[in-house]
Amino acid sequence: MVITYQGGAFVKVQFGDITIAVNPISKDSKLKTTRFGADIALVSLNHADFCGVDQVSFGEKNAFAVTGPGEYEIKDVFIKGFKSESKYGGENRINTIYTVNLENMRLCFLGILSSKDLPNDVSEAIDDIDILFVSIGSEGALSSSDAYKLAVKLEPKLIVPLYWGNSAALKTFLKEAGEENTKPLDKLTLKKKDLEGKEADVVVLEPAA
């Protein structure tokens, strides 16, 4: 599995011939976007910063869009979406938290949470997380401190902060984690065995140019 960070809350996950785009940035957004072909697109919020499914339907790939809570199975990828709340952009919005099971690993994308307290049913459903993606550094997202506290509470093996180019938010997050010397990676390449012995280790990904 190869994971790259595209800026904002936009993450690209590749494994075998399958590509998943999580919260692709729309061409109508003020954020810089990236265009590539994906098989699946996960959208947490109905906002231009997260719903650029058209940007990841490219070439021979026409992305299957998952845009809200529910259970999905697409090309042997198992996805669950859970309803939560966001105040992104200063408005009350529905935010979908996603878990994705593939290659014997479980990924969790928190979207743009505004509260560190998850609904009880969501907390109970999200367990045994291998890689957790949490947004910081944007309006309506959790503070760096609250984001780290929630991330640790969920007990993932790896935590990946999505920091929106906000170096101050990232610096605070790493300080909370006691990992100020963490160096950004261009990409995260993983197999299940690479997670052995990991406990809430922080991995920073450099946004794609």
Q: What is the pLDDT of residues 78-135, one digit of tens each?
A: 999 999 999 998 889 999 999 999 989 999 999 999 888 898 888 888 989 999 999 9
Dihedral angle of Cα 42, 47, 51, 52, to the nearest 10 degrees: -150
User: Quick check: is 132 in a domain?
Assistant: yes
Any residues with CB less than 8 A from the CB of 94 and at least 6 apart, and which?
Answer: 45, 46, 68, 83, 84, 85, 86
Dihedral sign (CA 42, 20, 29, 140) = positive
Which helix (H) or strand (E) segment holds residue 74: the answer is: strand 70-74
Q: Provide the Cα torsion 42, 98, 138, 35; round to 10°.
A: -20
Dihedral sign for Cα atoms in the order 128, 130, 136, 139: negative
Q: Which position has the higher pLDDT, 35 or 119?
A: 35
pLDDT band of 209, cuts 50, 70, 90 = low
Residues 94/88, Cβ–Cβ less than 8 Å: no
The reply to whether 59 falls in a domain is yes
| pLDDT tens column, 144-197 | 999 999 999 999 999 999 998 899 999 999 999 999 999 999 999 999 999 999
207 found inside a domain:
no
Position 208 in a domain: no
Nearest of 42, 100, 54, 43 to residue 76 by alpha carbon: 100
State the pLDDT confidence band at 60, using cuts at 50, 70 and 90.
Answer: confident
CATH code (residue 71)? 3.60.15.10
Q: Looking at residue 121, what is its pLDDT? A: 84
Give the residue numbers spanning the domain of 193. 2-202
Residue 196 in domain: yes
Residue 209, in any domain of the structure: no
With contact defined as beta carbons under 8 Å apart, do 52 and 26 qualify? yes
pTM of the full structure: 0.96
Q: Are 109 and 23 in contact (CB under 8 A)?
A: yes
Mean pLDDT within 20-26: 97
Which two structure tokens, joined as six digits, stand for 154? 């969920």
Q: Which two tokens stand for residue 3?
A: 């994971």
Provide the domain count of the chain: 1
More confident residue, 124 or 136: 136
In a domain, 58, yes or no: yes
